[in-house]
Structure 1
Amino acid sequence: MQTQHGTHPAPARLRPLTIPTEGASQSVSVFLGTHQNRLDAKGRVSIPAAFRTALRSQAAAGESLVILRPSHLHPCIEAWPPAAFAALSQPLDRMDIFSDDHDDLAAALYADAYPMDADREGRIILPEPLKEHAGLTEAVAFMGVGKTFQIWEPAAAERRRAEARTRSRALSGARPAPRPEADA
């Protein structure tokens, strides 16, 4: 398999990683790695298999597979499992429903959000406003960021990953490393 960083043998089978959720006995799949796919002529792109598996493991019956929205911070599309998106909106519950702050946050979260389901081949149609926001034309990079993933124009994704590595190196010297928990 040819990648940006050279040729590597294809993995036998990618499986999602699960991590325990804080204060619960359940675990949640996390999205790892960066995967590149092409947009077809109809604006469809295949979600990487490991990401689809993670999404399906988290979806409740009758829910959309994933919720897409433009990032407020970067020129990319954020992809949220429905339960994670619901948790994102919890601050709204603590606000006065008739306040400007509530209206602003609700509009920012919901007005540009698109619930999506994949077809049998694991493809989704990226809405035009989201493609424009991320500058997507032919190829897309799916970048795992833990409990969610992002969809980027590939060159922009590489720049973002380089920026994140640089910033995280600076942060690593500013914080103490977490202590490993003792085995019981």
Structure 2
Amino acid sequence: MSMFLGTHQNRFDAKGRVSIPAPFRTALRAQAQPGDPLVILRPSHLHPCIEGWTVGAFASLATPLDEYDPFSEDHEDLAASLYADAYPLDSDKEGRIILPETLRTHAALVDEVSFMGLGRTFQIWNPVAAAERRQAARSRAKTLATSRRPGSAPPMTTNGAPE
């Protein structure tokens, strides 16, 4: 399986296009099926960035929807949050895409963008926010690594019960 690795910075051109980094394009094309868009972009629910998904990975997001009554408000809310702001995009021959304005606004993208690989997916960030996010993630990961070593007991609450 192709993975999205590393952080790559690119600029918007005069026409508002930005190039998907070559390693990311390679991974997207390797996973695309004939007739599928190259990538599906959507705003992150957790961060001021854009998430980039292959069609297959994005389809896996819908699996939890099967657990809800399709006529329920919960199902409709989840479906709207997944699909209403999702944009399937193809690139031009040079690998450039035009980000929808709503996504650019969500991520505060102006002149430059950082593409951040997350394995199965990637994110598109304002470069300053991306650097801050990577630093925060490293700090949290260090804390997680020391508190949840393999084979160690889960952290205890103040009364001695597992969390």
Q: Same fold (TM over 0.5)?
A: yes
Higher share in helix: 2
| Unmatched 5+ stretches in structure 1 | 1-27, 179-184
1:152 aligns to 2:125 (yes or no) = yes
Identity %: 66
Higher relative contact order (CA 8 A, sep 6+): 2
CA RMSD of aligned residues (A): 0.9
Give the drift of 1:30: 1.0
**For residue 79 of structure 2, what is the aligned residue in structure 1?**
106
Give the drift of 1:94: 1.9
Give the drift of 1:56: 0.3
The separation in 1 between residues aligned to 2:140 and 2:149, in whole angstroms, is: 16
Task: Please give the per-residue CA displacement for 1:34-62, whole angstroms capped at 9, x wherever unaligned.
Answer: 00000112221000000000000000000
**For residue 35 of structure 1, what is the aligned residue in structure 2?**
8
The separation in 1 between residues aligned to 2:14 and 2:86, in whole angstroms, is: 23
1:134 aligns to 2:134 (yes or no) = no
Q: Which portions of structure 1, spanning 4 or more consecutive aligned residues, are displaced by more than 3 angstroms?
A: none
Give the drift of 1:176: 2.0
Give the drift of 1:81: 0.4
The separation in 2 between residues aligned to 1:171 and 1:133, in whole angstroms, is: 29
1:75 aligns to 2:48 (yes or no) = yes
Higher share in strand: 1
User: What is the identity, as a one-letter code, of the residue corresponding to 1:151?
Assistant: I
Q: Which residue of 38, 48, 51 maps to 2:24?
A: 51
The separation in 2 between residues aligned to 1:134 and 1:170, in whole angstroms, is: 27
User: What is the identity, as a one-letter code, of the residue corresponding to 2:126?
Assistant: E
The separation in 2 between residues aligned to 1:102 and 1:62, in whole angstroms, is: 28
User: What is the identity, as a one-letter code, of the residue corresponding to 1:154?
Assistant: P
User: What is the identity, as a one-letter code, of the residue corresponding to 2:32?
Assistant: A
The separation in 2 between residues aligned to 1:43 and 1:124, in whole angstroms, is: 9
Q: TM-score, normalised by structure 1?
A: 0.80
| Unmatched 5+ stretches in structure 2 | 152-163
The separation in 2 between residues aligned to 1:42 and 1:72, in whole angstroms, is: 28
Task: Please give the per-residue CA displacement for 1:49-95, whole angstroms capped at 9, x wherever unaligned.
Answer: 00000000000000000000000000000000000000011111221
1:171 aligns to 2:147 (yes or no) = no
Q: TM-score, normalised by structure 2?
A: 0.91
User: What is the identity, as a one-letter code, of the residue corresponding to 1:144?
Assistant: G
User: What is the identity, as a one-letter code, of the residue corresponding to 1:117?
Assistant: D
**For residue 5 of structure 1, what is the aligned residue in structure 2?**
none
**For residue 85 of structure 1, what is the aligned residue in structure 2?**
58
